[in-house]
Structure 1
Amino acid sequence: MTASPQSRPVIRAVSSNDVGAAIGRLLAIALPPTRAAETGASAKIGDFLLAWWNGPDCGHFPILHLCNVDAIIAEDMLTIYADAWGYRDAMGELWERYRTPA
């Protein structure tokens, strides 16, 4: 017996508000208030956001990471446009956290 298909489309139309909310949620996971508050998904989301924002300088995002985060986070990752909605400073902070040598 095979599983029935999902009831919602994998790719769906999203509004500008949906996109802004998604990037806000992703940044909150990637940039928690302290390093100690990071989760296993924090660095994966940071890699995703940085690659989407500026792949040539920030490196690539292993697509397999979409399978290594929960479905809600993966959907947000597929929804966003990184350099919009007033998050430029947060993207710079991501660069400092995940790309600057220790």
Structure 2
Amino acid sequence: MTQQPVFEALDRLFDLAASDTGQAKRVANFLLAWWNAGDNGGFDLADLFGVDQAVAADMGLVFLYLGGHPGAIYPDQMGYKDQIVALVERWRMPAPVEN
């Protein structure tokens, strides 16, 4: 499998996960489970029912790529460190307490 379609899918997924759409949290869950499911929570496959078909296809492409890759590979190794850290901060870090 060539990497270009995978990178294009990841670009779309990271952009979507950083947005305010209804699908953003589901996509963020997928990406964060890839980064570190133990710390960030796993990905509920039922979340696929809450994303558009094109988004599910992008997730599937990434899943196929990762499953066929020889050895583990993570977002930071693919050039997405800043994006994954931003998702952790957005979706997993507690909101600051206001006084």
Stretches of structure 2 lacking an aligned partner (at least 5 in a row): 67-73
What's 2:94 paired with? 101
What's 1:25 paired with? 12
What's 1:76 paired with? 58
Greater helix fraction, Structure 1 or Structure 2: 2
Determine the C-alpha separation between the residues in 2 that align with 1:64 and 1:21: 24
Select the structure of larger CA radius of gyration: 1
How does the TM-score come out when normalised to structure 2? 0.78
* Correspondence for 2:21 among 36, 39, 50: 39
Stretches of structure 1 lacking an aligned partner (at least 5 in a row): 1-13, 33-37
How does the TM-score come out when normalised to structure 1? 0.76
What's 1:54 paired with? 36
Aligned residues: 84
Amino acid at match of 2:16: I
Moved over 3 A (4+): none
RMSD of the alignment, in Å? Answer: 1.3
